[in-house]
Structure 1
Amino acid sequence: MRLWHEELIPNLPRPQLLGQHRECCALRGLGWEKKHATVDYVFTHSPYKLYQYHLLVIEEMQRRGYKNDPLWEDPTYRGKACPPYDLADMKVERLTKPIYPKHDTAYLEECKNNLFEKGIRLSYE
């Protein structure tokens, strides 16, 4: 489980991009607040931040011609197995860059190294 640094999203190979979409879906659904060392920082923020991040992934998927279930474009949607968020209860946080403070330059390098170790060379490198 990992949320790639948002600057990498446009350059992720297809498997990683689609995997990122599945990861976001899982975290927004039954995976919300389930402990995992790599993504625990997500749970220190409103679920709205995860929605904002997920939209970046969805937009890149659409740019490449992939189809997504449009239900995921609703900030309250959590999948078929979870009741939706009540938007009145969800803290709607303004969009920041990066979306998550953890996604700093050190995290960017960590993500690049992780991809490199998997044998993945990004197109802009």
Structure 2
Amino acid sequence: MRLWHQTLITRLPRQQLLGQHRECCALRGKGWMKPHSTVNYVFQHPMEYLFQYHQLVIEEMEKRGYYVGPEWKRLHYRGKHLPETVELSSEHFTTSDPIYPEHTDTYLKECLDNLSQKGIFIDFPESHHSIDRDS
């Protein structure tokens, strides 16, 4: 389980992008608040952040020609077996970029290292390492 650094979404290979969609669906559904070391930070923020992140994944999928069920574009949708959550509000959306403050340069490097261990090498120019929230 992992949410890739937000700036990698547009560069992810097919398998990782589709996996990211499944991960977002799971976290928005019954996986919400279920601890896992690589995604625990997600639960420290409103679920609306996850929705915003998921929409970036969905946009990239659609750009590549993949179909995404329209229900996942609804803020309150949490999956077939859960009621739609009424507490969620667009008032809790963040305007920070990246969405999650944990998506620092250090986390980006960690994600790139993880991908390279899988034999996936993403060309990510140093000039894009401008988040710099590590200091």
User: Is TM > 0.5 for Structure 1 vs Structure 2?
Assistant: yes
Q: Which amino acid aligns with 2:99?
A: I
- Kindly report which structure 2 residues correspond to 1:1-125, keeping only aligned pairs within 5 A, or say none: 1-87=1-87, 92-123=92-123
Q: 1:64 to 1:114 in 2, by over 3 A?
A: same
Q: Which runs of 4+ in 1 moved over 6 A?
A: none
- The 1:90/1:37 distance shift into structure 2, 3 A limit, reads farther
Alignment RMSD, CA only? Answer: 1.6
How far the C-alpha of 1:90 sits from its partner, in A, is 7.7
Residues in 2 aligned to 1:124 and 1:36: alpha-carbon distance in whole angstroms = 27
Deviation of the 1:93 alpha carbon: 2.4
Distance change >3 Å, CA 88–CA 5, structure 1 → 2: closer
Structure 2 unaligned spans of 5+ = 126-135
Are the counterparts in 2 of residues 52 and 95 from structure 1 also a CA contact under 8 Å?
no
Instruction: Name the count of aligned residue pairs.
Output: 125
Q: Deviations over 1:29-49 (max 9, x none)?
A: 000000101000000010000
Shift of 1:89: 6.5
Q: Cα distance 1:48–1:64, how it changes in 2: closer, same or farther (>3 A)?
A: same
What secondary structure does 1:30 align onto? Answer: coil
Q: Report percent identity of matched pairs.
A: 54
Asked whether the 8 Å contact 1:49–1:93 carries over to 2, the reply is: yes
Structure 1 window deviating more from structure 2 (80-89 vs 56-65): it is 80-89
Aligned 8 A contact 2:52 2:93 in 1: no
Higher mean C-alpha displacement, 104-113 vs 91-100: 91-100
If asked which structure has higher relative contact order (CA below 8 Å, sep 6+), I would say 1
Question: Contact 2:20–2:57 at 8 Å: present in 1 too?
Answer: yes
CA separation in 1, counterparts of 2:93 and 2:70? 22
Q: What is the alpha-carbon distance in structure 2 between the residues aligned to residue 10 and residue 79 of structure 1?
A: 25
User: Which 5+ residue runs of structure 1 have no aligned equivalent?
Assistant: none
**Paired amino acid for 1:35:** P
